[in-house]
Structure 1
Amino acid sequence: MSKAKSEFNRRAIPEVARETHWIAPDGWRIRRIDWPLRDDSGAGAAEPRGSLLFLPGRGDHYEKYLETLQHFADTGWRVTAIDWRGQGGSGRLLPDAHVGHIDDFSTWIADLGAFWAEWKSNNPAPHVIVAHSMGGHLVMRALVEGAVDPQAVALSAPMLGISTQGLPYAAHHAVARILSALGDPTRAAWKEGEKPMSPLNVRGKLLTHDPERYADEIYWWGARPEVRLGPPSWHWVERAIASTRALNEPGILEKVSTPILLMATTADKLVDPKRIVRDAKRLPHSELLLFGAEAAHELLRETDPVRDRCVAAIDTFFATHAPTV
């Protein structure tokens, strides 16, 4: 296993993978990458394990996760990943391409629902989802709203709550509303980095303890400048808080019947780990894998001891809850 990992080039698109675009119902071009079934690629006639959709976080692009996507392809899944509208290779929503933005999170839910329906009909069961951070939040909303119906889901550091710097959620939301209304709501909420007063030179420490995996992202910024995205707009911040607060309403998560694996770290400085732990108890069919100081936000891009545990947990969870048809 270690030999396979050392041979994988995280800074190149695998030859077998196909990069294309999916056209949303309103005509927006959503970038995607697909790994064919093993028998499609000529690498053997083994039956497919099923189909796996990967959804990245805020400001992410799928190049960051090639290593993990290849793992799932190697274990028999038909793998697809997409970039969310307005980030990665799926275009931008503001004239300032550095600022992340969305009109409302419901737009992303609509994109996901439409993509899921088409993707599911064209790929073999069982159908599962792996998502990170904001992607995890959007998957949770999509489950609540019935926009997707996977057999099982695995979420890495899901954005079920945003780090509030100690403020109550309602107060945090009120501040975001005020700051959004005081000026141009599409302006960047801060200058750089992943959170206020967090410059780029400390960004890596917020994301991972693995300097080589962090450097992979910087490499892709140079190789494909169009995938780089900076801080979110104030409007994004306000809408993100509103969306996470909506999931906090009593009875919302309690009705989700899908088996869900939640992976989190108590050392996370971007999303609220206490909210993940609490929400794991609200979900009827969930498991929680919780790390401490050894892990930062990007669990699937962490050092091998952390990342390997996450990947193994996902493999085991899907083997139990999404067996091959």
Structure 2
Amino acid sequence: MVEASIPENQTSASAAAIDRRAIPADASESRWQAADGHELRRIDWAANSETPRGSILFLPGRGDFYEKYLESLEEWHRAGWRVTAADWRGQAGSGRLGDDKLTGHIEDFTQWTSDLAHLWSAWKASTPGPHVLVAHSMGGHIVTRALVDGLVDPDAVVLSAPMLGMAGPPLPLAVLHSVARVMARIGSPKRPAWKWSEKPGEMPARRRDLLTHDDDRYEDELWWRQTRPELAMGPGSWGWVERAYASTREIEAPGAMEKVDIPVLVVSTSNDKLVKHEAAARAAERFPKGEIAAFGEEAHHEILREVDDVRGEAMRDIAEFLDRVAPRQA
């Protein structure tokens, strides 16, 4: 474990700068078991007062790891939240499901929604309310699918750049799914669906330009990958692509999002080159209690890891939303 030094005095801690390259002293890393016994990583911050603000469960995106979001997680903890974040099965420090160490594969997205439901049940029972789900990118897709399928019952949800539509050719979803289905069948569904770089494991040259305008925060991710090599992941498999389209069709089905009677804030940017902003904006309209915090050219895909002004605005939008829809319990 990487050590950090956070002052014990809460007032001092609240004012102290957050070291994005250290596990905070108040956080503890551990493992939890899914229903089938598969072990996954998690990190927890205990409530920092006798009257906690509530509890947040954060889930990252495809190829992500919770170390990338320590800054936001620690900020929520300092604001009084009891915080947990966890890996998805098959990525970061929770093993691999493909044939190599870099390709991300899954047999079906319901494996992930089942894991989430299992974690949610135990986590909700052991933490103070209100209970909030926050998720980024693919994590936002999985949380949305779990909501549509009635597997989780949070008091509020925040979706950061949710993968409700993948960037790509402007073709109908059914056509894209059909092509992916063919590609998954003509070879191993575990083979990479796109090229990563000229050298195995090396980052693509323009990757930063897709994620954030902030060079330092991007370098933080590379630092964590070097410090903890098990976190590194590259392309998704053709099986992942095909299952992603199949799951998207479930979410897009008529009446699916309309039955989610939970406040949902969608944080999205029209400058996103990885997921479709249009799909996120449409979801915010379809959720009966949906709202959107929209950004433009000032934000790339990882809005919570953007430059200070942009990231700060997003964090304020989230705080204001939660204060309205999930106020502190008496």
Common fold, TM-score beyond 0.5? yes
Q: Contact 1:164 / 1:172 at 8 angstroms: preserved in 2?
A: no
**The 10-residue stretch of structure 1 (245-254 or 61-70) with the greater mean CA deviation from structure 2:** 245-254
* Alignment RMSD (CA, Å): 1.5
2:282 alignment counterpart: 278
Cα offset, 1:5, TM superposition: 8.1
Question: Aligned match of 2:316 in 286, 309, 312?
Answer: 312
Q: TM-score, normalised by structure 1?
A: 0.93
- Note the alpha carbon deviations across 1:204-250, whole angstroms, 9 max, x for none: 10011111101110000100000111101000000001111211111
Divergent runs of 4+, >4 A: 3-6
1:196 alignment counterpart: none
In the alignment, structure 1 residue 211 sits paired with structure 2 residue 215: yes
One-letter amino acid of the structure 2 residue matched with residue 86 of structure 1: G
Q: Contact 2:266 / 2:293 at 8 angstroms: preserved in 1?
A: yes
1:10 alignment counterpart: 20
Point out where structure 2 has 5 or more consecutive residues left out of the alignment.
1-12, 198-202
Cα offset, 1:280, TM superposition: 1.2
Q: Contact 2:264 / 2:290 at 8 angstroms: preserved in 1?
A: yes
- What is the alpha-carbon distance in structure 2 between the residues aligned to residue 152 and residue 281 of structure 1? 16
**The 10-residue stretch of structure 1 (137-146 or 64-73) with the greater mean CA deviation from structure 2:** 137-146
Q: How does 1:176-325 map to 2 (within 5 A)?
A: 176-192=180-196, 200-325=204-329
- What is the alpha-carbon distance in structure 1 between the residues aligned to residue 290 and residue 175 of structure 2? 30
**The 10-residue stretch of structure 1 (169-178 or 120-129) with the greater mean CA deviation from structure 2:** 169-178
Q: Contact 2:93 / 2:231 at 8 angstroms: preserved in 1?
A: yes
Q: Contact 1:22 / 1:31 at 8 angstroms: preserved in 2?
A: yes
- What is the alpha-carbon distance in structure 2 between the residues aligned to residue 306 and residue 73 of structure 1? 20
Q: Contact 2:283 / 2:290 at 8 angstroms: preserved in 1?
A: no
One-letter amino acid of the structure 2 residue matched with residue 126 of structure 1: P
- What is the alpha-carbon distance in structure 2 between the residues aligned to residue 144 and residue 190 of structure 1? 29
- What is the alpha-carbon distance in structure 2 between the residues aligned to residue 99 and residue 255 of structure 1? 35
One-letter amino acid of the structure 2 residue matched with residue 133 of structure 1: S
- What is the alpha-carbon distance in structure 2 between the residues aligned to residue 35 and residue 110 of structure 1? 24
- What is the alpha-carbon distance in structure 1 between the residues aligned to residue 15 and residue 228 of structure 2? 24
- Note the alpha carbon deviations across 1:63-86, whole angstroms, 9 max, x for none: 000000000000000000000000
One-letter amino acid of the structure 1 residue matched with residue 178 of structure 2: A
- What is the alpha-carbon distance in structure 2 between the residues aligned to residue 24 and residue 246 of structure 1? 24
Count of aligned pairs between the two proteins: 313
Question: Aligned match of 1:79 in 80, 83, 87?
Answer: 83
In the alignment, structure 1 residue 33 sits paired with structure 2 residue 43: yes
Point out where structure 1 has 5 or more consecutive residues left out of the alignment.
40-45, 194-198
One-letter amino acid of the structure 1 residue matched with residue 181 of structure 2: R
Q: Contact 1:161 / 1:276 at 8 angstroms: preserved in 2?
A: yes
- What is the alpha-carbon distance in structure 2 between the residues aligned to residue 129 and residue 235 of structure 1? 27
